[in-house]
Structure 1
Amino acid sequence: MIMECVWWELAPGEPDIEQLQMQLEQIDLAVWQRIDALHTKYWIMNKTPPRWGAVMLWRGEKPALTVLPLNVAAEAIGRPPDVRLRFTVAASCLNESIIAPWASVLSQEETCITMPS
């Protein structure tokens, strides 16, 4: 699995957090559900200092940009992200409260996984 973290350091004159949040609520977030390689996507923000971005967990390699939904934040902000980090995921573990309803079908080994390198 690959984790990608991207964000913008928002400057005066650029869209603020509230504008970006409203825009996010107006777009069809479901388009991201149709990206097979995407495991999870989180939109992230910070008011002080103002930052906007996303954390994406990919099942394998990230698909080409041409097959991904439009990067609405990049369009609104008018430039690429200030920070783009990429990590190989070494391990993952689900919180017990999340898996409790699934306990009868999941084993402990399936909820905490060491990834092959």
Structure 2
Amino acid sequence: MKAMIAWWDLSTSQQNAETLRDFLREEAQQSWSDIPGLVLKFWVSDPERHRWGAVMIWESEEAAARAVLPRSAGEVIGHPLDYREWFDIEATVEGAHGLPSLNGLGTALAPQLERELENH
């Protein structure tokens, strides 16, 4: 398994964490859910340091290389990644938690999740 960590410096972009959350809610989450070989992706932000990025866990380097990726936040941000590194995954563990799934969690999706819970 391979992990990829990447982020953009938003200091020179018209985008910020809030506007990129809108992008994430509108299209990114659904676009990534059916990518073969992608085990998990989580988007990360550091609004104080003007950073936006992601961590992706892949079944293999080959799976990552074969993947046809959807529209990137880079198109919205207006420039390529500032940082990208690949790592071998040495071990994994899933902690004891009460979450039914890791899908659909996070700051960007909290309003959407709250609406869905209200409707049930």
Asked whether the two chains share a fold, i.e. TM above 0.5, the reply is yes
1:63 and 2:65 aligned? yes
Question: Following superposition of structure 1 onto structure 2, how do residues 1-117 of structure 1 map, counting pairs within 5 Å?
Answer: 1-27=1-27, 29-61=29-61, 62-64=64-66, 67-71=68-72, 73-97=73-97
TM value normalised by structure 2? 0.73
Residue-by-residue CA offset, 1:84-111 (whole Å, 9 max, x unaligned) = 0110000111102369xxxxxxxxxxxx
Distance 1:98 1:59, change over 3 A: farther
| Higher share in strand | 1
Tell me how large the CA RMSD over aligned residues is: 1.8
Instruction: Go from structure 1 to structure 2 and tell me whether the alpha carbon gap of 1:28 and 1:50 turns closer, same or farther (over 3 Å shift).
Output: closer
Q: Which segment is superposed worse, 87-96 or 6-15?
A: 6-15
Tell me, yes or no, if the aligned pair for 1:42 and 1:54 is still in contact at 8 Å: yes
User: How far apart are 1:13 and its partner, in Å?
Assistant: 4.4
Q: CA separation in 2, counterparts of 1:5 and 1:25?
A: 21
Count matched residues.
Answer: 97
**More helix per residue: 1 or 2?**
2
Counterpart CA distance in 1 for 2:31 and 2:24 is: 12
What's the offset of the Cα at 1:28?
A: 5.0
> Would the alpha carbon gap of residues 98 and 85 (structure 1) be closer, same or farther in structure 2, given more than 3 Å must change?
farther
| Contact 2:13 2:78 survives alignment (8 Å) | no
- Give the TM-score normalised by the residue count of structure 1: 0.75
Rate the CA distance shift 1:97–1:70 in 2: closer, same or farther, 3 A: same
Q: Which runs of at least 4 in structure 1 moved beyond 6 Å after TM superposition?
A: none
Deviation track 1:25-74 (CA, whole Å, cap 9, x = no partner) reads 11152221111110000011011111001000001121346x11111x10
The structure with the largest alpha-carbon Rg is 1
Looking at structure 1, the residues matched to 33 and 79 of structure 2 have their Cα atoms a distance apart, in angstroms, of: 25
Q: Specify every segment of 5 or more residues in structure 2 that has no aligned partner in the other structure, as ranges.
A: 100-120
Q: Sort the Cα spacing of 1:13 and 1:53 in 2 relative to 1 into closer, same or farther, 3 A.
A: closer
